[in-house]
Amino acid sequence: MNKRALDYALKIRLPITVVVILCSFALTFYVSRPERDGLGYQPEQPINYSHKLHAGEMNIDCQYCHTGVEKTRHAMVPPAETCMNCHKVVKTDSPEIKKLREYWEKGEPIPWKRIHKVPDYAYFNHSVHVNKGIDCAHCHGDVRKMDKVEQVHSFTMGNCLDCHRNAHERMPEIAENINKGPENCNACHR
């Protein structure tokens, strides 16, 4: 390679290549951030549902709507039938209940937008946590105070490991019921 070509490669092409690579990494990190931690994520839902009213003021247990959470790894999103247990007779003239009734009468699932999501490459089991007495608010925030639910805690590996390592400090109210959570890779990456 001649001196002129070498100078061109070192002075022009190399810096441009480095800048492009760094920008690609930065853009990938920025774009993927909401998927990784989603802090503040609060999508518009098809029906305005107030957890503050239902779970807070009315004190309806999370497990009434999110069934199976104590037996399976998933917390199920309630079908319209669950809501209609009450709303066949309660607030039937409300515009939001009318939307609910339409889904129910058509037999269509309500297209709720998921807010809290552990990445697909990580295994998470709700039942293990619920059966240890860990309150839903430790991961989901105090939804009993939220009219509109948003993600307030990060679901990154670091946050999960911090909880597993320091469970007694983070949840002193149940410290006698739990040991440290597993820290080995295959507990979550299966």
The pLDDT score that the predictor gives to residue 168 is: 83
Q: What is the pLDDT of residue 137?
A: 93
d(CA 77, CA 49): 13
CB atoms within 10 A of CB 132: 14
**Residue whose C-alpha is closest to residue 171's, from 163, 162, 182:** 163
Please state the separation of Cα 109 from the chain's center in Å.
20
pLDDT digits 0-9 by tens, 99-147: 999 999 999 999 999 999 888 889 999 999 999 889 999 999 999 999 9
* Contact of 48 with 96, CB cutoff 8 Å: yes
Backbone torsion region of residue 13, taken as left when φ is above 0, otherwise alpha when ψ lies between -120 and 50, otherwise beta:
alpha
Beta-carbon contacts of 101 under 8 Å, excluding residues fewer than 6 positions away, are 84, 87, 92
pLDDT digits (tens, 9 = 90+) for 49-88: 999 999 999 999 999 999 999 999 999 999 999 999 999 9
CA distances from 50 to 12, 26, 89, 150 (A): 57, 37, 18, 12
